[in-house]
Amino acid sequence: MPLKQIAEIRIKQTRTSTLPGTAGDVTHSVLFLSEKIDDYLFKLGCSSAHTLGVVTQLLNVGKIRLDFREYNERLQLMNAADAMSRTEAISLIEAYLTAVQTESYKEGDLDLTQKVIIQAPKRSAM
C-alpha cells in the first residue's frame, strides 16, 4: 500500500496554556500535518533539524508532546494506520521539505534561515 502524502495525514492538536492567569486553558483542533509543518518552518526556518525531529517522531510513534514557553502542545495522528517506520517518515518529510523550498524560491521569498537561537526560560527567584 503506498504511503500517504504529508498533505493527506490528519493530526489532532491539543494545546494547553502555561501562562499565569490562563494556565490550564485547553484548545483542541484537527489539521493536516502539512499545516503544522508549515507553521514550524515559519517559526524555526526551513533548515531546522527540530522540525524534522518532531515530525519524524510523530509519524514513527504516532504522538508527541512539545513544551514551549507559553503552552504545551500534544500532537497525535488521527489514524494510527498513518504511522510508519523512521526511514519512511524521513523520506516523506524530506520530499515535502524539498517541494516547499522549491516553491519558496519560485515565489521569490527570502533566503532560508541560517541560524536559530532558542532562549532558555527565565528562572524565578524563590
For the purposes of burial, counting CB atoms within 10 Å of the CB of 37, is it exposed (0-12), middle (13-18) or buried (19 or more)?
A: buried
What sign does the CA torsion over 74, 70, 94, 87 have?
A: negative
Predicted local distance difference test score (pLDDT) of residue 1: 46
Distance separating alpha carbons of residues 66 and 91, to the nearest angstrom: 23
pLDDT tens across 47-105, in order? 567 888 889 999 999 999 988 888 889 999 999 999 999 999 999 988 888 887 766 55
Task: Give yes or no for a contact between 84 and 92, defined as CB atoms under 8 angstroms apart.
Answer: yes
pLDDT tens across 11-57, in order? 999 999 988 888 788 999 999 999 999 888 887 765 567 888 889 99
Judging by DSSP bridges, how do beta strands 71-77 and 10-17 pair with one another?
antiparallel
Look-up of cell digits 541560517 = 114
C-alpha cell at 92: 516523506
Distance separating alpha carbons of residues 77 and 79, to the nearest angstrom: 5
CA distances 34 to 60, 64, 108, Å, are 16, 16, 21
Distance separating alpha carbons of residues 12 and 7, to the nearest angstrom: 14
Domain extent listing, the chain: 6-107
